Structure 1
Amino acid sequence: MKLLGLHHVQITIPVGKEEKAREFYCGLLGLEEIPKPENVLSAGGFWVSLNDVQLHIGCYERAISPDSKEHVAFLVDSLKKWMTRFENAGVYPVKGKPIPGIERFDIRDPFGNRLEFLEQKKQI
């Protein structure tokens, strides 16, 4: 018996903010929206996919804590290019504490969800 992989992660956005979330996640991040099963459509939100892992963006009434450590981390090919993309969109990255072999930064989506972006560096 073993775990086979990660299927999905869910984050929350305020009820009624799906279009703003689509602009951010599908537009700015370039994630592909995938169909939700019909039996869960009434819950609101939407699902996106990155390779074999899904990100479920659900609607909820609670506020997101700005100090929360909860986050999704995206592996990227060029941290510098993503940093420039975010800055051009008015989203300002905050560099994280160093981790050997990894460069990284965090941003907050328009709803306060923390997102980490990291690039693995070759060890010499």
Structure 2
Amino acid sequence: MNIHVKRLDHVQICIPVGAEDEARAFYSGILGFQEIEKPDALKKNGGLWYQVGDIELHIGVENRDGYNSKSHPAFEVEDLQSVKEYLLNKGIQINEETPIPHVSRFSFRDPFNNRIEFLSKHHR
């Protein structure tokens, strides 16, 4: 059997328990992502959900002591340089990533030390 994947549905990252307001300030306020309502059955777990392009970003809650993972979502954006300048003006530290063919990219850490990558693809 071949598994046919239609598309990526969602990515989940995590924040400390009780940090939803700070996450909302960053993801809604700074990044401008559109928050969507979580299903009633999951609201008791805490966290937030966002619609980001055609996928969802789920932000769960967990113990985050000493967390510094390389795992990350990568979002393709329009006008990567303007996005980078905007984030720098907001005081967000940008990490230049190792160049790869036909892709410009950078990453940054959210206030909870989650790595986020923004990229732009260039066709030959």
TM-score, scaled relative to structure 1 = 0.93
**Equivalence for 2:89:** 88
Moved more, 49-58 or 104-113: 49-58
Please tell me whether the aligned partners of residues 64 and 111 of structure 1 are also in contact (alpha carbons under 8 angstroms).
Answer: no
What is the aligned residue count?
Answer: 122
Q: Deviations over 1:47-91 (max 9, x none)?
A: 00013210000111133532x210010101111111111111110
Residue type of the alignment partner of 2:5: L
Moved over 3 A (4+): none
Query: Which amino acid is 2:53 matched to?
Result: N
TM-score normalised by structure 2 residue count: 0.93
Identity %: 43
Distance (Å, rounded) in 1 between the aligned partners of 2:104 and 2:66: 26
Look up the SS of the partner of 1:115 in the other structure. strand
For residues 88-122 of structure 1, the C-alpha deviation after alignment (integer angstroms, 9 at most, x for no partner) is: 11101111000111111010000000001101123
Q: 1:2 aligns to what?
A: 4
Gaps of 5+ in 1: none
Any unmatched runs of 5+ in structure 2? none
Separation in 2, partners of 1:53, 1:63: 28
| Structure-2 residue corresponding to 1:20 | 22
Q: Distance in 2 between matches of 1:3 and 1:55?
A: 18
**How far off its partner does 1:27 sit?**
1.3
Partner of 1:61: 63
Q: Residue 38 of structure 1 corresponds to which residue in structure 2?
A: 40
Paired residue type of 1:28:
I
Distance 1:119 1:10, change over 3 A: same
